[in-house]
Amino acid sequence: MNFSEQAAENLRRIQENKPLIHNITNFVVMNYTANVLLAAGASPVMAHAENEVEEMVGFAGALVLNIGTLSDAWLASMITAGKEATRRGTPIVLDPVGSGATRLRTDAAKAILAQTRVRIVRGNASEILSLGDADAQTKGVDSAHGVDQAAAGAADLARSLDTTLAITGPIDLVTDGRRIIRVANGHPLMPFVTGTGCSASTLVGAFAAVDDDPVSAAATALAFFGLAGEKAGAASSGPGSFMIALLDALYLISPDELEAGCRISDES
Amino acid sequence: MNFSEQAAENLRRIQENKPLIHNITNFVVMNYTANVLLAAGASPVMAHAENEVEEMVGFAGALVLNIGTLSDAWLASMITAGKEATRRGTPIVLDPVGSGATRLRTDAAKAILAQTRVRIVRGNASEILSLGDADAQTKGVDSAHGVDQAAAGAADLARSLDTTLAITGPIDLVTDGRRIIRVANGHPLMPFVTGTGCSASTLVGAFAAVDDDPVSAAATALAFFGLAGEKAGAASSGPGSFMIALLDALYLISPDELEAGCRISDES
Amino acid sequence: MNFSEQAAENLRRIQENKPLIHNITNFVVMNYTANVLLAAGASPVMAHAENEVEEMVGFAGALVLNIGTLSDAWLASMITAGKEATRRGTPIVLDPVGSGATRLRTDAAKAILAQTRVRIVRGNASEILSLGDADAQTKGVDSAHGVDQAAAGAADLARSLDTTLAITGPIDLVTDGRRIIRVANGHPLMPFVTGTGCSASTLVGAFAAVDDDPVSAAATALAFFGLAGEKAGAASSGPGSFMIALLDALYLISPDELEAGCRISDES
């Protein structure tokens, strides 16, 4: 099965099985990412209490950890949930929001990577590079490095972290250290809506819940999200109407339409 | 006054008196439920600090307690606020989000019911059944039981809990243990938007602030919300445009339009 | 440069420099205010952990402190961040949501004013008046006083607090105790969307990041937000479509369009 066929198959499985995706995520995007999952056919749950997360993750098809609006208590819950997910073999997706910008965020991302088995990390180039290189700098949560500059080091970093990296930007890059995949779907209005990166991460979680190959799960999820962005962009006049049209598009795109619209290329 | 006339009268009172509805609710839906209340003409306030909630609930026409994204600290504040509301005779609405799914949620819902005087519980069938039956199971926050299966036990449960139950689904059921009311308004896109259940609960709070009869308050609120869903569904192409059109509909539906569109039937 | 020219110049600077605006704000509006900043061309960051805020505010062009959904821990972080911003000379905007309604909120607003150097306070008349007068009463977070009644005391209060006050209502009032400016832009649907006041505050932060004069920064930000409201109102049928069209308008209004549409009058 090529990536386009796999994308269609993954979306079909999500719509049929409605996997429960457990998110421990930031306050800014909770509502939007829950709506993104629902529109795509998955079942979101947000739960962060340290005395609940182990039980909750037991029902989940994937665990998504997002370190925006972080605090020590939330980090502790993420690691508790992540350890239980690791024990169960449940896929974990990490979104290292703002890693590289502050010590709290950088240390948190590294602690999660060290103490749990993260299957996929989804971030922008600065955030991803900060996981390996203490000198990388992030301006807030925006990317200061382009995807192309990141590509060189990304495969090395994926191998050294023993995970799959999904670096989003105008062209997305997915690598497990051996394969290098690029996803060209997307729309320039995406960075003007808060939580589009976080939404990409939670969709990667939904795709990882139905696809055991992390490279294919991440690439097909990003193609789906990017295609929805293209469809939304064609129907929008600004970022407000775009964010709403994006939810509609995630709901309306059929597996066949995704197969036809996917722009994934394998460079490995 | 029949239910349709009462629905119109309740909406008129909300638009005129703009009752303050104090919500202690989950992070996912805070923004949307506040917008739902504003669109309907009520005044939302969200406040959760244990050293503030007693004072805040003193200004409120109703208190809405919602246990999504729960933690011990938030539960303590809910009980503090609930005791003060009980002392004042202010109506309390409980939304037991995820009760039955985890011990934290189930225990929390039961603790609130035991320690405060809850006038109305609004949930899906699984959540409501979990309040009485230790074996009921919830998949995340979605319902695993249909409304029809729930009807049999609901009246018994309402009597044993000494409260009014509002069980939402394709057809909603409202019972205080004596009366059994069904509400047929609604739209299939509602479950594709996060927080529609929570929004129904907070609207039940607004209606309870102006209607002393809990059965009529709950049934008319659900009819209003369902009618807004019908109107929104007719103007939408997916869950994004639906969630926005729903806010418009709550603002635009007049008391007379509500009276004409209500589909409430009394089966008792 | 008159206010209209300054408004255009400020918007141009924001779109070019994309200043990072650090918000410690309430859970209800985090998503919407982040989207407002992005649509206007600024870069939002939300971060509240006490062990992160000093580092984060070091990257910021302005700090916006908003006391909705307050708790003691969040207040402590606001003061920590505010002291660091004061030390650096970074402009601080305070939104005293609900000040006057509960002791926690009133005391918090006064503590922030006492312990940090607040450049601009943006609130409704009741909230602002509560900062000086222990008798002022707020019904929830809504204004019980009109802008006109407030004008008399506002200039005195601005002098006694040694800050600039931006009091929003049908007509906005901005004063530093010497100058009195009125802004007539706006739309009647604004109060039907939660977080429009908070969004005005965070935009005041973005304008203060590029304009050292607090009176001109506040007045031009409010004119921009009000003009976007006018544009959105013309394209909306209710508060849902309005809140989305408002984001589009903030993105679409050009500096020249702002210069032409500004309705700012200097009464001093």
Minimum Cα–Cα distance from B53: chain C residue? C102
**Phi and psi torsions of A133, nearest 5°:** -125, 115
A vs C: CB pairs below 8 A: 93
| Residue labelled with tokens 């996060």 | B194
From the CA of B176, how many Å to the nearest CA of chain C? 32
Contact C246 A240 (CB under 8 A): yes
B264 pLDDT above the threshold of 80? yes
Measure the CA–CA gap between A202 and A222, rounded to whole angstroms: 10
Across the beta sheet with A92-95, what order do the strands follow? A43-46, A20-24, A62-66, A92-95, A120-123, A164-167, A172-175, A180-183, A264-266
Measure the CA–CA gap between C157 and C155, rounded to whole angstroms: 5
Minimum Cα–Cα distance from A73: chain C residue? C49
Query: Is B196 marked as a binding-site residue?
Result: no
Closest CA to C96 of C85, C109, C83, C86: C109
Q: Which residues pair with B264 in a beta bridge?
A: B183
Q: Would you say C200 and C167 are in contact if contact means Cβ atoms under 8 Å apart?
A: no
Measure the CA–CA gap between A147 and A104, rounded to whole angstroms: 25
Domain range for C205 is 3-266
| Residue labelled with tokens 């005779």 | B89
For CA atoms B106, B112, B118, B122, give the dihedral sign. negative
Residues on chain A touching C20 (C-beta within 8 angstroms): 139-140
From the CA of C259, how many Å to the nearest CA of chain B? 31
Measure the CA–CA gap between C35 and A215, rounded to whole angstroms: 31
Residues on chain B touching A47 (C-beta within 8 angstroms): 69-70, 98, 102
A147 pLDDT above the threshold of 60? no
Measure the CA–CA gap between C166 and B246, rounded to whole angstroms: 33
Measure the CA–CA gap between A25 and A5, rounded to whole angstroms: 31
pTM of the predicted structure, to 2 decimals: 0.95
Measure the CA–CA gap between B49 and B56, rounded to whole angstroms: 10
Of residues C167 and B136, more confidently modeled: C167
Measure the CA–CA gap between C104 and B112, rounded to whole angstroms: 25
Contact B49 C71 (CB under 8 A): yes
Mark the binding-site residues of A for substrate, compressed into ranges. Answer: 46, 195
Work out the average pLDDT over B144-161.
Answer: 76
- In order of B122, C111, C238, C268, the CA distances from B18 in angstroms are 22, 31, 18, 37
Minimum Cα–Cα distance from C195: chain B residue? B31
Nearest beta carbon to residue C38 from set A72, A192, A236: A192
Minimum Cα–Cα distance from C29: chain A residue? A28
Q: Which residues pair with C95 in a beta bridge?
A: C66
Structure tokens of C241? 């479509």
Chains in contact with C via at least 3 Cβ–Cβ pairs below 8 Å: A, B
Residues on chain B touching C105 (C-beta within 8 angstroms): 52
Q: Which helix (H) or strand (E) holds B31?
A: helix B30-40
Minimum Cα–Cα distance from B30: chain A residue? A31
Minimum Cα–Cα distance from C27: chain B residue? B27
Nearest beta carbon to residue C237 from set B44, B59, B248: B248
How much is the CA Rg of chain B, to the nearest whole Å? Answer: 17
| Share above pLDDT 90 across residues of chain B, in percent, rounded to a whole number | 91
- In order of B14, B27, C53, the CA distances from B203 in angstroms are 10, 18, 37
Nearest beta carbon to residue B195 from set A31, A56, A250: A31
What digits encode the pLDDT tens for the residues B68-85? Answer: 999 999 999 999 999 999
Nearest beta carbon to residue B45 from set C140, C193, C243: C140
From the CA of C234, how many Å to the nearest CA of chain B? 14
Minimum Cα–Cα distance from A73: chain B residue? B71
Burial of C144 (0-12, 13-18, 19+ CB in 10 A): middle
Q: C183 in helix, strand or coil?
A: strand
Q: Spell out the per-residue pLDDT of chain C, length 268, in tens.
A: 899 999 999 999 999 999 999 999 999 999 999 999 999 999 999 999 999 999 999 999 999 999 999 999 999 999 999 999 999 999 999 999 999 999 999 999 999 999 999 999 999 999 999 999 654 444 434 455 555 556 778 999 999 999 999 999 999 999 999 999 999 999 999 999 999 999 999 999 999 999 999 999 999 999 999 999 999 999 999 999 999 999 999 999 999 999 999 999 998 7
Residues on chain A touching B29 (C-beta within 8 angstroms): 31
Measure the CA–CA gap between A59 and B189, rounded to whole angstroms: 25
B141 pLDDT above the threshold of 50? no
Q: CB under 8 Å to A172, separation ≥6 — which residues?
A: A147, A166, A182, A183, A184, A186, A219, A222, A226
pLDDT of residue C151: 73
Q: Which residues of C touch B (CB under 8 A)?
A: 26-32, 68-72, 98, 101-105, 139-142, 191-195, 236-241, 243-244
Residues on chain C touching A244 (C-beta within 8 angstroms): 244
CB crowding A152-186: b at 16 or more within 10 Å, else e: ebbbebbeebebbbbbbbebbbbbbbebbbbbebb
* Length in residues, chain C: 268
Q: Would you say C158 and C151 are in contact if contact means Cβ atoms under 8 Å apart?
A: no
What digits encode the pLDDT tens for the residues B169-187? Answer: 999 999 999 999 999 999 9
Nearest beta carbon to residue A238 from set C34, C43, C248: C248
Contact A192 C46 (CB under 8 A): no
Report the 3 state secondary structure along chain A: CCHHHHHHHHHHHHHHHCCEEEEECCCCCHHHHHHHHHHHCCEEEECCCCCCHHHHHCCCCEEEEECCCCCHHHHHHHHHHHHHHHHHCCCEEEECCCECCEHHHHHHHHHHHHHCCCCEEEECHHHHHHCCCCCCCCECCECCCCHHHHHHHHHHHHHHHCCEEEECCCCEEEECCCCEEEECCCCCCHHHCCCHHHHHHHHHHHHHHHCCCHHHHHHHHHHHHHHHHHHHHHCCCCHHHHHHHHHHHHHHCCHHHHHHHCCEEECC
pLDDT of residue A28: 97
A268 pLDDT above the threshold of 90? no
Residues on chain B touching C194 (C-beta within 8 angstroms): 31, 34-35, 38, 44
Nearest beta carbon to residue B192 from set A30, A39, A51: A39
A47 pLDDT above the threshold of 70? yes
C92-95 and C62-66 as β-strands: parallel, antiparallel, unpaired? parallel
Measure the CA–CA gap between A23 and C50, rounded to whole angstroms: 23
Banded model confidence at residue B53, pLDDT cuts 50, 70, 90: very high
B51 pLDDT above the threshold of 70? yes
| Residue labelled with tokens 């896109």 | B189
Contact B34 C27 (CB under 8 A): no
Nearest beta carbon to residue C238 from set B39, B43, B46: B39
Q: C212 in helix, strand or coil?
A: coil
Q: Which residues of A touch B (CB under 8 A)?
A: 20, 27, 30-31, 34-35, 38-39, 43-49, 51-52, 55-56, 59, 243-252
- Chosen for mutation from C21, C30, C246 (greatest number of chain A CBs closer than 10 Å) is C30
- Chosen for mutation from B247, B252, B253, B254 (greatest number of chain C CBs closer than 10 Å) is B247
Q: What is the CATH number of the domain that holds B50?
A: 3.40.1190.20
Contact C31 A32 (CB under 8 A): yes
Q: Would you say C180 and C190 are in contact if contact means Cβ atoms under 8 Å apart?
A: no
Q: Would you say A19 and A44 are in contact if contact means Cβ atoms under 8 Å apart?
A: no
| Total domains in the fold of chain B | 1
Q: Which residues pair with B64 in a beta bridge?
A: B23, B93
Measure the CA–CA gap between A73 and C156, rounded to whole angstroms: 44
A144 pLDDT above the threshold of 70? no
- Here the ipTM equals 0.94
Minimum Cα–Cα distance from C137: chain B residue? B59
